[in-house]
Structure 1
């Protein structure tokens, strides 16, 4: 890449971020949008990476990415809701003039810990070696370690699901358009949002009473 040996003013840093739900966005520290591999990388001059720590040992490679919270790209609501948890991130450099195609990979991994401070955020980018830090076996516990309805649980969920429309929401109390078939039937259950601003998120249910469903805090 000859542009790395020339004036540094033609180098732009870019991020490609892919969430677990399939949403992908592109960001760049350049002052205008760049089209790279069919994805528009939006100008985000406030996005800055820390020094990339890499090694040939078994220690996990890490890097912090700091930036401003913007509703058009990464919003505080989505960060706190966990939409960006585990998202895959690729950091690379390109020649923003387009005179030399191609890109130089600088690092990749998944988003780990996220911190917010006012209108700014800092996200930890953990490299592939971080997988080695995961436990290889489950820890024992007095409670069931399976998720309700998953392969290990074996409970059929087809007859236990209900679809309802949310008509009101006040703090943690959600009112739906259908009365529960029996008392507290939704208690200790799971509410999965399939539309609106919360689409794709899940909320644990504390208890239910008629058409009112109280979510856990």
Structure 2
């Protein structure tokens, strides 16, 4: 049997890291193990592509070459995704592309799934792919939240709570000098009276004595 291989990398960074080389290596190993012929000229690479493009010269060459070969090897079903897997049109476009290949009597083998793809099972595979993408996005978001939490813990001197509200000492002293109660000052400063007392304690401000002295000065 004579196959072709289509490799695609989404970004220049992936290309620099050799992602397409890994895809090609995996395809060659599969062909070697299965006794399938894969010529150098039958390997097609789209670099820096977010999704397959009908106007891509490499994609057109791949389709033309497939007409004279028995099948195609891809790393994963998402190699034929045109965009965001969460977009329903992405799945429809991919299914139509696979259907066109199957109608020609060609074989599609996914290295990731370790099996030959059939039209009757392809929908399940693609939906699973979408789920995997969704899980990956969730993991990325969770990791970001975790990093933000660690950063906040550092900023909060070892606590996991929301970012600590700092006391504007100058503004507080001005309010107190005008005769406002601590409760009123707390409202002006956007914090609870308990939090205000905690901040005063942390700053070692003996507010009662200080205020008492100011009142005595005013009385005099």
- Tell me whether the two structures share a fold, i.e. TM-score over 0.5: no
Larger Rg over CA atoms: 2
Range into which the TM-score falls when normalised by the shorter chain: under 0.3
Specify which structure has the higher proportion of helix: 2
TM-score by length of 2: 0.21
Specify which structure has the higher proportion of strand: 1
TM-score by length of 1: 0.21
